[in-house]
Structure formats: C-alpha cells, structure tokens
Chain A
C-alpha cells in the first residue's frame, strides 16, 4: 500500500500530473504515491515526469482503461 493515493480518474491532461505533483510536493523523500488515471496521455506523461523530476516509477499497470502508477519521491 502506497503512503498517498491520488485518484485522477476522469480528469483530462494535465490534471493527473498536476494533482500528483501537488501530492508529491507535500510528501517526504522516500514516500510512495499511487495514482489512478484514465487520461490516455498519462502513460507517456508520467514517464516524462518521472524522468525529469527523478521520482521513480516502481509499478505501472493498465486495467480496462485505468492506468495505475506507483512512484517513489526522490
């Protein structure tokens, strides 16, 4: 179970990333966040966000149109 949950289902770009960045800003280093999103752009967006910010993606799954990411704050 991740430390923080972000439910961004139904939100359009860039809100899944914005909500996640807001949550991560309030987290301590090493804590994890689990994000659920339905925006089809989110797979590439979270990859780019992780690469730029250094917050690693630990898990990534897709199930019936819902993308799930677990990331760790740098």
Chain B
C-alpha cells in the first residue's frame, strides 16, 4: 500500500517552513502555549459577561465541538488516518458522562468536583474504545479504514436501542448537572457557568494537544503521514504511532461528546448520528487539515451555519412546512457543497488560505523593505 498521505496542501512549501516558529522559540513552547491559553481564557471570561445567555450557550457548544474537531485534526490532518466514526466516539463519551452523573445522583453525593470526575471517566472510556478501534485501524488504509469507521458510526447509535435497558433506547438518558456553585452569587446565569465549564475543559485539552504536536510524538505523527516507509526506515514504529494518534484523537472526541451531553443535559442516539460524524469531518476539512487553528474555524462553522440558515429562513416568509424542511436541510446542503468545493479548489481550507495570504503579505513587505 502506498503511504496514506493526508490531503495536506501541496502548496505548503516544506515541512521545515511550517516548523520554523518552533525553531525560533526553542525551549519556550510550553510557556508560549500557556500564554495563548491564558489570553484565550481571559477573553472567554470577558465575552461571557458581555453577551446574552443564548450566545454563551452557543459559545459553549463551539467549545464542545472544538474538542472533537481538534481530535479529528490530529488523526486525519496530522496522522493521515481518516475516521468517519468520531460521532460514535462522541456518543461513547456522552453516554459515559450520563451514566456517571446518574450514578452520582442516585448515590446522593453532591459537589462540583463530581462533574470533573465524570468527564475524566468519559475520556478514559473513550480512550479504551478508541484503542480497540485504533488497533484495527492501524492495519487498514484509505477506503478500507473509511469503511470500517463508517460502520462504527452507523452501528454504535443502533447499539443504544439494542441495549435499551441501560441506555433507554431512542429516548436516551438525561444528564443531571448541578447548578453553578453558590460562591459565584445567587443570580449567576446558568449559561455563563456552562461556558466556563466547557471553555476550561476545552482550553486544557487544546493546551495538551498543542504541546503533544510540538513534541517528538507530533513529529512522528507527521512523519508517518507523509511517508510510512521513510518513517519506518527512520526507526519509527508505524503501527504504534497510528494507534497512539487514534487514542489521542478518541480522547478529544470523548471529551467533546461528554461536554455536549452536559450542555444539552441529555444523551440520545439521535444527537450522534452518522451525519454528526460527517459534519466533524467536514469541519476539519473546511477549517484546514493539519492545523489545530483550522479545528477552531470548523467548530465555529458547525454552530454558526445552522444559526445563519435559521435566520435566513425566518427572513423569508415561507409556509411552516417548507420552512421546516429548509431549516433542517439547507445547512447540510451548504456543508456538502462547501466540502466538495474546498476539497477540489482549496485543499488547505480556511486556515490554509489565511496562512497563504499571510505569507504573501509578508513577502511583499520584505520586498518593499529591501
């Protein structure tokens, strides 16, 4: 089998060009990432006070999606493995958090730290599932891997109906979540608290991922993506690297799914259908494969576009039946067209276009100075 090269932009000059910032700031990667995260956290807190509760909830949803898209970026963009099953992995995280929270509620234990325990349990469970799929995935390439993960995406939501004694079938489980801690005041809006929780978890996950990608592991991920034979010759254990990438990616998806369940206060199979898996893939492709920043664009798009079509169909005066059909399907159609067009015309995605623009401007500025 030929190497499973990801759809990285052919225009990105060399891997070295992309890694240049790391060489410039050698030794300070962690501090730099910490600074970015601190700024982002401050910004998030400021925004959470500045906007209405519904926008807070939307931002929290973006944060939840961001965990999953960042995980998928690591897998598809940086390691060259395609997964159509990340929606199913999100479901694993969501159902774990639901079961944990219900167990805590039944046992009568209370406390803010319980949610953190549930989230960690969700990530660990998803990691275990991801490791099983990853071991199989490491032996598969291209369309075969896509087919298996597609089967996972179709099968896992169906399992919740099969074992409806535990998972309550189509109706799903409710996720009891505690109100904001009393220390924040009696009138602290619940949506702001949701944004804080989701934002904190996501920023932590992104910090860990960003550091991992700048480390030896990140370099072996990319080496395996670019040329498996060369990577093997350089002493990299290809299968082990692929399993590791799958596990890391699954952890992201599990956390994303768990946060989504906490935000919606329910976990049901309808929320984690095959369409969600395709949405995640679309988000990372449009955002830009191979860059964590691309995952941010993708996650934002997943929340903004349905909202936008909702606004548009509200502006047009349509009969309720037509409006309902349009509202559910127009975002899908736009996503589909965008996915096809981006793959054909701009394989680097939004982030690729931005960085090309940045390079062009920089080159022009240098030219003018010399």
Chains A and B come from one and the same complex: no
Q: Which residues from chain B sit less than 8 Å from chain A, CB to CB?
A: none
Q: Which residues from chain A sit less than 8 Å from chain B, CB to CB?
A: none
